[in-house]
């Protein structure tokens, strides 16, 4: 298929709105401080927008949520989203994920049996089961902030960050199981999958701050 026809398919897919009810999370002042735990299963920004779904916070009820699927759209398909957030702990998981299956090619650009993120006491980890990017297997148990860019016909380079870990200014840590970023028609599209945020115990006087993870390249197999 010609490249311009693929771009047209991408635009048509991304232009279709995904109607997901946004969950309002209380502000730090409403929850008694900036250390509430939180989690969400999936979010997207760019040409396609998906609010953090399902979003939970330790400062609001319910503290656990499950979603069987997203509203029908040609870009993101999945089976189950689960999230949980309590004081000092949060977790998120996504089951049977496929991204851009119908919009770009007969095969999914990204597919996964399972992607999870867990944050506990300010430290976290992620788990990947049978994750493939453009047919290439993504290594499970990757180091924090491991990245890979794979060329995809009709899209150019698709970048994936696995086990993304960010230490936030409020003292919390955010673990994202996998983040996909792509440029389409001169615009960026970012999809975050399985994200968990929590706070650690206050550092003892004179204790050195926790070092930030260093990004590394992620090997793939095909």
Secondary structure, 3-state, the chain: CCHHHHHHHHHHHHHCCCCCCCCCCCCCCCCCCCCCCEEEEEEEEECCCEEEECCEECCCCCCEEEECCCCCCCCEECCEEEEEEECCEEEEEEEEEEECHHHHCCCCCEEEEEEEEEEECCEEEEEEECCEECCEEECCCCCCCEEEEEEECCCEEEEEEEEEEEECCCCEEEEEEEEEEEEECCEEEEEEEEEEEEECCCCCCCCCCCCCCCCEECCEEC
Tell me the pLDDT tens digit for each residue of 141-187.
789 999 999 888 777 789 999 999 999 999 999 999 999 998 876 78
The per-residue pLDDT for range 200-211, each reduced to its tens digit, is 865 555 544 555
Say yes or no to pLDDT of 198 above 90: yes
The whole-number average pLDDT for the span 103-120 is 83
Confidence check: pLDDT of 102 > 80: no
Q: Is the pLDDT of residue 49 over 60?
A: yes
């Amino acid at each position: 298929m010609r490249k311009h026809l693929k771009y047209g398919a991408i635009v048509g897919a991304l232009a279709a709105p995904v109607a997901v009810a946004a969950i309002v999370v209380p502000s730090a002042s409403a929850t008694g401080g900036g250390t509430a735990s939180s989690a969400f299963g999936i979010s997207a920004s760019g040409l396609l927008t998906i609010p953090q779904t399902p979003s939970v916070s330790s400062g609001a009820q319910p503290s656990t949520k499950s979603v069987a699927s997203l509203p029908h759209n040609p870009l993101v398909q999945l089976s189950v989203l689960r999230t949980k957030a309590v004081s000092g702990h949060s977790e998120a998981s996504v089951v049977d994920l496929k991204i851009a299956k119908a919009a770009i090619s007969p095969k999914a650009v990204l597919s996964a049996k399972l992607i999870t993120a867990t944050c506990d006491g300010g430290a976290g980890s992620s788990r990947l089961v049978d994750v493939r990017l453009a047919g290439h297997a993504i290594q499970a148990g990757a180091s924090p902030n491991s990245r890979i860019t794979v060329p995809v016909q009709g899209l150019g380079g698709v970048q994936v960050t696995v086990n993304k870990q960010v230490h936030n200014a409020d003292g919390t840590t955010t673990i994202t199981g996998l983040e996909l970023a792509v440029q389409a028609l001169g615009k960026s599209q970012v999809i975050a999958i399985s994200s968990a945020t929590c706070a650690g115990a206050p550092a003892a006087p004179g204790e050195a701050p926790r070092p930030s993870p260093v990004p590394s390249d992620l090997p793939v197999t095909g």
